[in-house]
């Protein structure tokens, strides 16, 4: 293993422990809670506590999506605080917040994610360039996943546009991220599992770590994401959310994890 970064080291350790690279996304939706839990904030907190308790021995990382908590107001953010306390220290929390703004604003965003919520990693928009990202990169012991080619259908609106050199925009973004990673040592890229370009994108750089959403409910497959997205150290973070939290209620969470990676 080449990287000495603490979060990447922990991800490697967890991969050795669980023998896969699946990250569980936490997208809390009160309307989708199982019958055993009241459709209230209290019921949601109980549900999330059970998710962590039942799966913490079987996951690479957790990825809470902050918007699902924000939609519940201040009490929702308190639920995110509570969730953070339930996640064991040896399992990285990737706080999916998709931040990135002018420098002084980005500095405050980074403080919120890392100093307040104690996130181990973030997700970031690259559109405004380095000065909107560097306040995050300066958190050297944290990991930062920059959006490259996302899994949503409308990624083609901008991310796949051809530049004057004939290359798509996403390729330029990912190449730049690879350069930043060489400088800062803590930069990753988000690449959707549903994108056919994943295998070609990996050729841009063999070292940078990918966060790959889109497995499970969105139609992507774990094995394809792993084989095409792993770096030279055989590491990748493959996220599944709805297929673990809400689908196949007759199965336990761990059984859903096994089904997702099989």
DSSP letter, residue 205: -
Reply yes or no on whether 199 is catalytic: no
Find the distance separating the first CA and the last CA of the chain, reported in whole Å: 26
Annotated catalytic residue within 98, 138, 162, 182: 98
Q: Which residues are within 8 A (CB) of 48 and not within 5 positions of it... i.e. 6 or more apart?
A: 26, 28, 79, 82, 83, 86
Beta-carbon count within 10 A of 8 CB: 23
- Type and span of the H or E element at 97: strand 94-99
Q: Which residues are within 8 A (CB) of 229 and not within 5 positions of it... i.e. 6 or more apart?
A: 191, 193, 198, 202, 210, 212, 236, 238
Q: Which residues are within 8 A (CB) of 169 and not within 5 positions of it... i.e. 6 or more apart?
A: 158, 159, 160, 161, 162, 163
Catalytic residues: 98
């Amino acid at each position: 293993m080449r990287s000495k970064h603490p979060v990447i080291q922990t991800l490697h350790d967890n991969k050795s422990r669980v023998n896969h690279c699946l990250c569980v996304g936490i997208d809390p939706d009160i309307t989708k809670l199982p019958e055993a839990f009241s459709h209230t904030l209290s019921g949601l907190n109980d549900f999330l506590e059970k998710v962590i308790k039942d799966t913490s021995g079987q996951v690479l990382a957790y990825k809470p999506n902050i918007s699902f908590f924000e939609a519940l107001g201040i009490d929702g953010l308190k639920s995110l605080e509570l969730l953070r306390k339930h996640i064991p220290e040896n399992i990285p929390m990737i706080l999916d917040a998709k931040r990135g703004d002018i420098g002084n604003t980005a500095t405050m965003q980074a403080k919120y994610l890392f100093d307040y919520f104690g996130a181990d990693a973030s997700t970031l928009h690259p559109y405004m360039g380095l000065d909107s990202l560097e306040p995050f990169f300066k958190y050297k012991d944290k990991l930062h996943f920059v959006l490259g080619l996302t899994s949503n259908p409308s990624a083609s609106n901008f991310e796949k546009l051809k530049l004057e050199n004939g290359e798509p925009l996403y390729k330029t973004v990912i190449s730049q991220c690879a350069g930043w990673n060489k400088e800062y040592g803590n930069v990753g890229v988000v690449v959707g599992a549903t994108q056919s370009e994943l295998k070609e994108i990996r050729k841009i750089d063999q070292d940078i770590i990918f966060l790959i959403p889109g497995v499970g409910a969105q139609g992507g497959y774990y094995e394809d994401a792993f084989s095409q997205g792993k770096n030279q150290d055989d590491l990748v973070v493959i996220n599944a959310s709805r297929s673990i939290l809400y689908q196949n209620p007759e199965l336990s969470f761990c059984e859903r994890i096994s089904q997702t990676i099989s």
